Amino acid sequence: MGNSATIPFSTYQLDQLPVDVIEEMKLRTWARKNYTEESQRDDLWHPVILDEMLRIDQE
């Protein structure tokens, strides 16, 4: 699976990088198409991607 959405990111930057609605939809769609098990996820992926994958885990 391609990890093209790997973006260096830290929790500190969360408030500094607002994501508009369209960008959020793109990130969530990418997360659904590229879903990986929790143990295989990269902590550097965008928080929206990680959030969507957590939602998938709960479905």
**17-28 confidence digits (pLDDT tens):** 677 889 889 999
Instruction: Yes or no: say if 25 and 51 are a contact pair by the CB < 8 Å rule.
Output: no
**Rounded distance, CA 41 to CA 44, Å?**
9
Return the pLDDT at 16. Answer: 54
Residue 31 confidence (pLDDT) above 50: yes
Torsion 51-54-58-59 (CA) sign: positive
What rounded mean pLDDT belongs to the chain? 80
pTM of the predicted structure, to 2 decimals: 0.69
Return the pLDDT at 8. Answer: 45
**Could you give the 3-state DSSP secondary structure of residue 54?**
helix
